[in-house]
Structure 1
Amino acid sequence: MHPQMSWLAGKLDSAERLAVSAYYAQMPLPPVSRVGSAPGCSTSMARLYREGDPDRGLQACASCHGSQGQGVGLGNPSLTNQSARYIAEQLQRWRDGRRYGDAMGAMQKAAAGLRENEIRPLSDYIAGGPVPPDRPEFQEECQ
């Protein structure tokens, strides 16, 4: 949990929490941003994001968060416009059991399956905007 957010949320009653939730739920999603090629784009991080690693039982990030990080369904949030530092911190929190709330435990399992040396490059790749495999310049950017 995030200490400041926990403190603030603890000050709200149920009606206020619902009002804040409704406010944010009605906000439009920001457009997917791409700045040239994805920072940290590498074949291995693109593959990990899109395909996971079946040998390690690691599910693809894209299966829940979408091919471009847009989020899939109500329980899988968009990753667009999140900083690499934030993503890396959240992956560490999921991995260490300091973040929870995923009813099926998918994020805890996924983060636990990541190697320490994959967290930062994967976070950089996600923050840069995952490169969709059908983009013509994909081969140039990620090879």
Structure 2
Amino acid sequence: MIATPCIGVCSTAVGDEVCFGCGRSFAEVSNWLALDDGQRAAIQAQLSRRKVWLQMAMLSGGQLQAILPVQQARLALTPSLLVTLGWPQQRQGRGYVPLLTHDGRSYLLPVYRDDWLRLFWDCLFDADCAPLN
């Protein structure tokens, strides 16, 4: 049996859809004991990348609302400003997060850069941001 990744800082208990402590969704936390080892292992394998999303949510002042199929998450910056985050990835040893803005534009955000948060806001509001290739 695969042990729970819980670290005792469960934010789903206070209404978050995705736990800031372990990175699991509310449904995954609630159903953990009912999942088989294969399902638990699949979730465990995603947690380090999900924590990139959680860090982005925390630093941008947003809330990770949902983990979507096809390894995506929805980040709410305001009730009406939603961004879809793609699966964090490495290219040439550097971290990137694909994002789809509220108005349908796609970008590859270089989260390895110290100024990634400024770039994130630039992409949202169409300032000098290079589209996803």
TM norm. shorter chain > 0.5: no
Mark the structure with the bigger radius of gyration.
Answer: 1
Q: Which has the higher helix share?
A: 1
Higher relative contact order (CA 8 A, sep 6+): 1
- TM-score calculated relative to the size of structure 2: 0.24
